[in-house]
Structure 1
Amino acid sequence: MRPYPEEITKILARLKANPRGMSVTDLSRDLAINRNTASRYLDMLLISGEVEMRTYGKAKVFYPSQRVPLSAMINFSSDGVAILDRTLTIVQANDRILEIVRAGRDDVIGKPIGESRLSAFDHPLIRARIEDALGGDDVVEEVRFLRTGGELYFRMKILPTAFNDGSPGITIILEDITSQKLAEEALRTEEAKFRALVEDINDIIWNVGDDWTFSYVSPKSFDLLGYAPDEMVGRSLLDFVPAPEQERVAERLAGLLDRPFSLLHIPLLHRSGKSLVFEASGTPDFDEIGDFGGYRMVSRDVTERHQAERRVRGWKSFLHCIVQNIPDMVFVREIAGGKYVFFNRAAEAFVGGAPESLAGKEESAIFGPDLVPLISCGEAEMLQRQSPVECPAMPVVFQNGETHHLQTKKIPIAGEGGEMKYVLTIVRDITDHVRADALLADQRDLAEALGSASDLREALSICLDAAMQAAGVDAAAVYAVREEGRLERVAAFGLSAEAAARAERIDGEEAAVLIGGRTAAFPGDEDLRGTVTFTIVHGGMPVAVLVAGSRLTGLIPAAGVQALETIAAQAANVAGRILAQETVRIERDRAERYLDVAGVMIAGIRTDGTIERMNRTGCLALGYAETDLVGKNWFKTLVPTRLRPRLEANFRRLMEGASPPPGEEKGSLLARDGGEIGVLWRNTIVRDNDGRITGLVTSGLISGPPAEDVY
């Protein structure tokens, strides 16, 4: 590498001694060299990456470059990395590649690749790829290394590399893909196991077309039916069904359409003539365009399930006990005769009859006209779909006068042949859920109302209305916290006129007690009992106090206290928003006043050239009101015609970021009376948080006679 001139060494030394940066002028003066010479050497250092440059206005400031050694960077990589020069001598190697070849750094660094522990890469095939990389091509290949303890697989990348002196080299990167290769091998092993599982399990796996013709049969068919798979493929499922059952099975299969099914009983004949019953489950198979193409089915022999059926009868007794004691009302009705055959205890209590007096009766003989819509809801849809249907809740008035919300669910029950035989009706009392939803809706409505509140007083009044409705208290009041802990009542409900007059303002110890939430008596009205107080806090400081009390009970119910706590929490949230908005409004008004009293003309211009803001000084100088200018085009309204094309073009370049704004310039503007006034302008580009240009702020001093504008 060519040595640096003496001046470059001195420049680097001066920059290191001045880490805050130096300009070209500073360096040329410091080193007593020509400014052009200093600039040329700095450009050389900038290109080589040994210095960095930042621009401040028109000045260029240079800093020492912050570099990280290449050897440290490549050691952060989990891949093996080796860097070779044009003679294939190893220049750098990270720890990972040294670990792969089980060598020390001294065994490889500075040695030709063929004489080092990386000699495996000196294979003729790899050598050819290295030559391609030296010629500028990227090379990616998979390689396998054999070493004691097993095989290693790598994805090798050979990349062309350039050194600081411009000489070519290569970088070899080894990505360890051993785990991936092992996973692929494991996947192939698992696929083989799955294939063996399909062939060895006790169930038969079938693939049938839309006409129920077998396209695949697993080998287990020979053990269970006596037929080899090739004896069944191409034949219809119905060919193996006993003749007396074929019509019924065909109708049942036709009713499935393209829906999935499970536990479908299909009678089949063994090759020996023995009748068997198979239980099948199927998943519909669709082709690429979504047309139904048949089923994938799994079936098993359930002929000898009589032992299991005895266990099922025991479970039926157990389940009957459960159904009898659940709180939901359960009714079972025959589809054919329309008669009810089962009521659980909750259903009997609901209709008011004994089991012996209800069983065998039709709907009209059991339920009154007001209950028929509830009981029959969804039944027609269920019969059509042959699947469960859940109806919306309906209000029903009980004999004690209370209104309950009941929800009905209809479930079809099939008989032994698979046909629908019973309708199971379950009626659930969801009154508690409905009331909880109503309470949640009230809280949501409160949040929406608070969101529209324009000030703290309005927000606190809204909270008081909600407290009276949700908590069920007899009286409530809300106080705003003022200076020095003084309380000022914002609103109150349920107080007598005398009590209301006595507690409009509270200060001193009584105010401190209320703010601390420790009061036991309602302010101004000692007849109220069970008083509770909630302090509304924002930013760690109390902003308001909510007080509620009851005349009828000694304590407000727990549900009421919980509702008041929620209201206080919502009030605290909205108080933060309102106070923040108030702070922003005050700051905005202060900024507006600053603009209006400024002694210079200030205007804001959007990227499309329309006027967004003009301060009072500018309006007075031009003879316009601000409302006359806002939204108008700056150039068409205020720029003289002779200057307009050039200045509009300059403005577009500014908004596109193609050129920086000029410094202080003289220009001309058209006043409302048609005259021109001279202005000394200073322009500033406005950007958003993402750095995009959103407009221009221009300020100017009225300087007398008109001048040519420049942007």
Structure 2
Amino acid sequence: MQEEHDLPNRILRALRFRPKGMTITEVAKQLGVTRNSVSKHLEILQIAGKVDVRHIGNAKLYSLAQRVPISAFLCFTKNLILILDNDQRIVQVNDQCLKHLRQSKDDLIGRTIREAALPVVSTPEALAVIEGLEREQVIADIRYQRDEGEEFFYQMQAIPTTFEDGETGATLVLEDITERKRYVRNMEFLARTAMELVDMPPGQDIYQYITEKIAELVPNPRIFVAAYDEAEGEFVVQAAQDKDFHAGMARLLGVEPVGLTFPIKKVLSHPQGGNPLALLTRGIQEYVLDPEPGLGKLSLYGDIFFRQIPEEICEEMCSTWNLGKINLTFLVWEDRLFGSVKIFLSPGEVLEDKQAIESFLRQASIALARRQTEERLRRSEARFRDLIDSSPVAAAIIESDGRYTFINQAFTDLFGYTLADIPTGKEWFRLAFPDDTQRREAVAAWKADREAAGSCHSRPRTFPVRCRDGEGKEIRFSPIELSDGTEYVTYEDVTEERRIHGVLIGEIAGLRRK
């Protein structure tokens, strides 16, 4: 009887030395017992999870079950784990879960999920998954936001579980996927804003756009964005976020904060002035707001607002919005300063997604640089066109593909044609040279002169031209091909000169005959 009672342990010892497994017959032969007895105990051990069985043909091959103790699993996994019974009472929880949920084990064991009112697992989304659990494992993403605004994401696996006594329950395994979610969200954000900045029309307020996009990444945003006026040496506030912060600032200051100027030159010449330009950096730097100077500290009155806002109002701002820190950066590209960004935080707040914000601000700085370059080009082109248009000499600009992109007023006065009449060189030659033979000769001479002269060399030639009113004129063309293939052409009416030249030639010929 004692041998029968000890048989399960003897079977386990026998299997331990045969890791590849043993059949019922092999176990019975080694232990010197009947096959029926071995078969009965192996079946019990299999139900208890202590042995595994494999089928090889008609034979069953038994081996020790390789299982990790639940206690070891709970201790060493990084995931958050709760084990629930059939009534959703918590029967086990690991240390990582206790630490993350800010709870003690005594507070949780024996209580239901609803009674415990735990973050994440007691949310309606998580409870719906747990209560709907049947035979199959269920995986769901759960979003949770703390009271202070910090957001977390978890992937929750709800696994049906059978205990040793046969009772059923569930094991909840929560993996913190916040960083993964943030990374995906930030990549989508940067891809979207990059396209929006490229497609942004010239008239859109880019500074307001910057504040709105930062607010998508920063909970409870209190943001100032200023443009830098290089000529005046001052920052000009262009946008503020959010609405309450903006309105409150206007109330405290008595004026609209957008449009306020902070002259750096004036601060630098102040007897107690610091050097705000020394703060210039390409990355976001966090400082504690403190009236007293020190390492890692900035004064709202002196360093941020350059003594342009009264000190008592600066103090009231800090108390009204509980401002304790500032994250400061500048809009810089290729050593050019375009503006500044100030993100105010409460003492306990943390600026999440700093890297994504820095990447976005680099994109915005490039967009500002491109916008300023385009604006300078527009002004330069406008000056050039004004210069040509006010010139008394008829002139036209012809693109390399033959399109007329500009003719000045003197051109229209000379020929009568407008840009609408001659959009291309083909139309110009058709109208100016109505005779087919003359037109072919003029086109051939134009092309030959262009090939012979090359780039940036004038190639004057005189042609008879028909004006819009039908009058014929002798015109000296002086085209110059620029480096990009564009042609700049001036036109001079030499009709009278040719007439006088003809008269003189006739008189000289007459004198010779006499």
How many angstroms apart in 2 are the aligned matches of 1:680 and 1:668? 9
Change (3 A) 1:452 1:652: same
Could you tell me how far 1:702 is from its partner in structure 2?
Answer: 1.6
Change (3 A) 1:323 1:617: farther
Match of 1:676 among 461, 467, 472: 472
Could you tell me how far 1:579 is from its partner in structure 2?
Answer: 1.9
Amino acid at match of 2:215: M
State the partner residue of 2:341.
546
Amino acid at match of 1:630: P
Q: Secondary structure at the match of 1:587?
A: helix
Could you tell me how far 1:440 is from its partner in structure 2?
Answer: 3.5
Are residue 406 (structure 1) and residue 155 (structure 2) matched? Answer: yes
Q: Which TM-score applies when normalising by structure 1?
A: 0.39
Change (3 A) 1:436 1:575: same
Contact residue 395 and residue 403 of structure 1 kept, 8 A: no
Match of 1:487 among 211, 225, 235: 235
Q: Percent identity?
A: 14
How many angstroms apart in 2 are the aligned matches of 1:645 and 1:578? 45
After superposition, residues 235-246 of structure 1 pair within 5 angstroms as none
After superposition, residues 128-277 of structure 1 pair within 5 angstroms as none
Change (3 A) 1:452 1:513: farther
Contact residue 464 and residue 475 of structure 2 kept, 8 A: yes
State the partner residue of 1:594.
387
Match of 1:458 among 187, 205, 215: 205
Could you tell me how far 1:666 is from its partner in structure 2?
Answer: 0.8
Change (3 A) 1:630 1:479: same
State the partner residue of 1:326.
77
Which structure has the higher relative contact order (CA within 8 Å, separation 6+)? Answer: 2
Change (3 A) 1:547 1:674: same
Match of 2:267 among 509, 516, 522: 509
How many angstroms apart in 1 are the aligned matches of 2:144 and 2:329? 39
Q: Secondary structure at the match of 2:205?
A: helix
Change (3 A) 1:519 1:457: farther
How many angstroms apart in 2 are the aligned matches of 1:369 and 1:605? 71
How many angstroms apart in 2 are the aligned matches of 1:659 and 1:706? 25
Could you tell me how far 1:558 is from its partner in structure 2?
Answer: 3.7
Q: Secondary structure at the match of 2:362?
A: helix
Could you tell me how far 1:628 is from its partner in structure 2?
Answer: 3.5
Amino acid at match of 1:637: L
How many angstroms apart in 2 are the aligned matches of 1:638 and 1:408? 82
Contact residue 226 and residue 235 of structure 2 kept, 8 A: yes
State the partner residue of 1:633.
427
Alignment deviations for residues 402-456 of structure 1 (CA, whole Å, 9 cap, x no partner) = 984538799xxxxxxxxxxxxxx99855344223322343344433343344569
State the partner residue of 1:91.
none
Amino acid at match of 1:520: S
Alignment deviations for residues 589-636 of structure 1 (CA, whole Å, 9 cap, x no partner) = 222223223333333445665434323321221113334332462212
How many angstroms apart in 2 are the aligned matches of 1:608 and 1:536? 40
State the partner residue of 2:9.
none
Q: Secondary structure at the match of 2:347?
A: coil
Change (3 A) 1:374 1:674: farther
How many angstroms apart in 1 are the aligned matches of 2:223 and 2:262? 15
State the partner residue of 1:579.
372
Contact residue 405 and residue 434 of structure 1 kept, 8 A: no
Are residue 498 (structure 1) and residue 498 (structure 2) matched? Answer: no
Match of 1:520 among 271, 275, 299: 299
Amino acid at match of 1:619: T
Amino acid at match of 1:593: D
Amino acid at match of 1:679: I
Change (3 A) 1:435 1:599: same
Could you tell me how far 1:324 is from its partner in structure 2?
Answer: 8.3
Change (3 A) 1:540 1:697: closer
- Worse-superposed segment, 517-526 or 664-673: 517-526
Are residue 471 (structure 1) and residue 205 (structure 2) matched? Answer: no
Contact residue 456 and residue 578 of structure 1 kept, 8 A: no
Contact residue 520 and residue 531 of structure 1 kept, 8 A: no
Could you tell me how far 1:321 is from its partner in structure 2?
Answer: 5.2
How many angstroms apart in 1 are the aligned matches of 2:468 and 2:135? 80
How many angstroms apart in 2 are the aligned matches of 1:685 and 1:573? 33
Contact residue 142 and residue 155 of structure 2 kept, 8 A: yes
Could you tell me how far 1:679 is from its partner in structure 2?
Answer: 0.8
Amino acid at match of 1:704: T
Alignment deviations for residues 149-183 of structure 1 (CA, whole Å, 9 cap, x no partner) = xxxxxxxxxxxxxxxxxxxxxxxxxxxxxxxxxxx
After superposition, residues 28-67 of structure 1 pair within 5 angstroms as none
State the partner residue of 1:259.
none
State the partner residue of 1:704.
495
Q: Secondary structure at the match of 2:352?
A: helix
Contact residue 154 and residue 174 of structure 2 kept, 8 A: no
Alignment deviations for residues 624-652 of structure 1 (CA, whole Å, 9 cap, x no partner) = 33343324622123223241133334556
Change (3 A) 1:667 1:266: farther
Alignment deviations for residues 661-691 of structure 1 (CA, whole Å, 9 cap, x no partner) = 9942111222221222221112334554xxx
State the partner residue of 2:87.
none
Q: Structure 2: which 5+ residue stretches go unaligned?
A: 1-53, 82-91, 98-107, 111-125, 160-171, 280-296, 499-514
Amino acid at match of 1:625: T
Between Structure 1 and Structure 2, the one with more strand by share is 1
How many angstroms apart in 2 are the aligned matches of 1:488 and 1:597? 36
How many angstroms apart in 2 are the aligned matches of 1:678 and 1:622? 11
Amino acid at match of 1:647: A
Contact residue 404 and residue 419 of structure 2 kept, 8 A: no
Q: Secondary structure at the match of 1:489?
A: strand
Q: Secondary structure at the match of 1:633?
A: helix
Change (3 A) 1:368 1:574: closer
How many angstroms apart in 2 are the aligned matches of 1:485 and 1:685? 42
Contact residue 477 and residue 489 of structure 1 kept, 8 A: yes
The count of residues paired between Structure 1 and Structure 2 equals 344
Q: Structure 1: which 5+ residue stretches go unaligned?
A: 1-264, 269-305, 331-343, 355-366, 380-390, 411-424, 689-693
How many angstroms apart in 2 are the aligned matches of 1:452 and 1:608? 27
How many angstroms apart in 1 are the aligned matches of 2:175 and 2:154? 9
RMSD: 5.2
Change (3 A) 1:579 1:536: same
